[in-house]
Chains A and B, each alone.
Chain A
Amino acid sequence: MSETAITMPGQARPARPVPRRSWLSEIPDLLTRIVAGVIATAAVGYVVGFTLWTVLISFTDSTLLPEYNFVGFKHYWQLLNSRIWQVAYLNLTIYGLGFILGATGVGLLLAILIDQKIRGENVLRTIYLYPMALSFVVTGTVWAWLLNPTIGVEQFVRGLGWTQFKFGWLVDRDLAIYCVVIAAIWQASGFAMALFLAGLRSLDGDLYKAAAIDGASPARMYLRIMVPAIWPIVVSVLVILLQTAIKTYDLVRALTAGGPGIATTLPTNVVYDYMFQRGLMGAGSAAAVMLLLSLLIVLLPYAIFQRLRRGKGGGHG
Chain B
Amino acid sequence: MKASLFRTTGLALLAACLAQAPATAEPRLTVISQWSAGSEGAAMDAFGKMVTEKGVKWEHSPVSGFTTDMMNKLRADIIAGRPPAASQLKGPEIKAWSAIGATINLNDVVKATDYEKNISADLAKIHKPKGDWIALPLQIYRVNTLFASKKAMDKIGATELPKTWDEFNALSAKMAAAGITPVAHGGIGWADTMYFELALAGISADAYRKAIMELDDKSLRGPEVLAAFKQLRQLTKWMNPANAGQHWSVFLPALMKGEYGFLMMGGWASGVLKKGNFEEGKDFLCGATPNNTGKPVFDMNADGMIFWDTKNADLLAGQKATAQVAMSKEFAKAFTQINGSIPVRTDIDLSDAGFQDCQRDAAKNLSGAIAANQAIMSLGHNMAQTSPVTAALRDVLTEYVHNDKITPEEAQKRLADAADTVR
A260 close to B (CB within 8 Å): yes
A224 to B199 Cα, complex, angstroms: 63
User: Assuming the A-B contacts A259-B398, A260-B244, A261-B403, are A64 and B68 also in contact, with contact meaning beta carbons closer than 8 angstroms in the complex?
Assistant: no
A22 close to B (CB within 8 Å): no
A35 close to B (CB within 8 Å): no
A259 to B401 Cα, complex, angstroms: 11
B27 close to A (CB within 8 Å): no
Give the residues in chain A near B72, CB-CB below 8 Å.
276
Nearest A residue to B417 via CB reads A83
Nearest B residue to A276 via CB reads B68
B187 close to A (CB within 8 Å): yes
Give the residues in chain B near A277, CB-CB below 8 Å.
68, 387, 391
Interface string of A81-100 (1 = CB under 8 A from B): 01110000000000000000
User: Assuming the A-B contacts A64-B75, A83-B414, A150-B243, are A263 and B388 also in contact, with contact meaning beta carbons closer than 8 angstroms in the complex?
Assistant: no
A257 to B189 Cα, complex, angstroms: 9
Inter-chain contact A260/B75, CB cutoff 8 Å: no
A199 close to B (CB within 8 Å): no
Give the residues in chain A near B386, CB-CB below 8 Å.
279
Inter-chain contact B187/A278, CB cutoff 8 Å: no
Interface of B is mostly: helix
B4 close to A (CB within 8 Å): no
Interface string of A69-110 (1 = CB under 8 A from B): 000000000100011100000000000000000000000000
Inter-chain contact A173/B403, CB cutoff 8 Å: yes
Give the residues in chain A near B75, CB-CB below 8 Å.
64-65
Inter-chain contact B395/A260, CB cutoff 8 Å: no
B421 close to A (CB within 8 Å): yes
Inter-chain contact B395/A262, CB cutoff 8 Å: yes
Interface string of B184-227 (1 = CB under 8 A from A): 00011100100000000000000000000000000000000000
A232 close to B (CB within 8 Å): no
Contact of B391 among A170, A173, A261, A278 (CB under 8 A): A278
User: Assuming the A-B contacts A261-B398, A262-B398, are A65 and B100 also in contact, with contact meaning beta carbons closer than 8 angstroms in the complex?
Assistant: yes
A269 to B79 Cα, complex, angstroms: 25
B245 close to A (CB within 8 Å): yes
B97 close to A (CB within 8 Å): yes
Interface residues on A, range: 20 to 34
Contact of B395 among A83, A148, A150 (CB under 8 A): A83
B167 close to A (CB within 8 Å): no
A64 to B78 Cα, complex, angstroms: 11
Count residues of chain B with CB under 8 A from any CB of chain A. 33
Contact of A261 among B243, B388, B399 (CB under 8 A): B399
Q: How far is the CB of B232 from chain A (nearest CB, A)?
A: 13
Contact of A278 among B97, B244, B388, B414 (CB under 8 A): B388
B242 close to A (CB within 8 Å): yes
Nearest A residue to B386 via CB reads A279
Q: How far is the CB of B202 from chain A (nearest CB, A)?
A: 23
Give the one of A150, A260, A261, A273 with max B CB within 10 A: A261
A63 close to B (CB within 8 Å): yes
Contact of B399 among A65, A168, A262 (CB under 8 A): A262
Give the residues in chain A near B121, CB-CB below 8 Å.
none
Give the residues in chain B near A262, CB-CB below 8 Å.
395, 398-399
Inter-chain contact A256/B387, CB cutoff 8 Å: no
Interface string of A118-150 (1 = CB under 8 A from B): 000000000000000000000000001000111
Give the residues in chain A near B402, CB-CB below 8 Å.
173, 259-261, 263
Give the residues in chain B near A63, CB-CB below 8 Å.
96, 388
B241 close to A (CB within 8 Å): yes
User: Assuming the A-B contacts A82-B421, A278-B388, are A64 and B97 also in contact, with contact meaning beta carbons closer than 8 angstroms in the complex?
Assistant: yes
**Chain A positions 143-201 with a Cβ under 8 Å from a chain B Cβ:** 144, 148-150, 168, 170-171, 173
A57 close to B (CB within 8 Å): no
Give the residues in chain B near A148, CB-CB below 8 Å.
242
Interface string of A273-317 (1 = CB under 8 A from B): 100111110000000000000000000000000000000000000
Contact of A279 among B78, B96, B188, B243 (CB under 8 A): B96
Give the residues in chain B near A82, CB-CB below 8 Å.
421
Contact of A257 among B71, B242, B245, B395 (CB under 8 A): B245
A78 to B72 Cα, complex, angstroms: 25
A82 to B414 Cα, complex, angstroms: 11
Nearest A residue to B96 via CB reads A64
Inter-chain contact B387/A279, CB cutoff 8 Å: yes
Give the residues in chain A near B414, CB-CB below 8 Å.
83
Q: How far is the CB of B196 from chain A (nearest CB, A)?
A: 13
Interface string of B76-110 (1 = CB under 8 A from A): 00110000000000000000110110000000000
A277 to B75 Cα, complex, angstroms: 13
Give the residues in chain B near A149, CB-CB below 8 Å.
242
Inter-chain contact B242/A171, CB cutoff 8 Å: yes
Give the residues in chain B near A261, CB-CB below 8 Å.
187, 192, 244, 398-403
Nearest A residue to B251 via CB reads A150
Inter-chain contact A259/B68, CB cutoff 8 Å: no
The list of the 3 closest CB pairs from A to B, nearest first, reads A261-B402, A260-B402, A260-B244
12 contacts between A and B (CB under 8 A): A63-B388, A144-B245, A170-B244, A258-B189, A259-B189, A259-B244, A259-B398, A260-B244, A260-B245, A261-B400, A261-B401, A261-B402
Given contacts A171-B245, A261-B400, A279-B71, 5 further A-B pairs with CB under 8 A are A82-B421, A260-B402, A261-B398, A261-B402, A277-B68
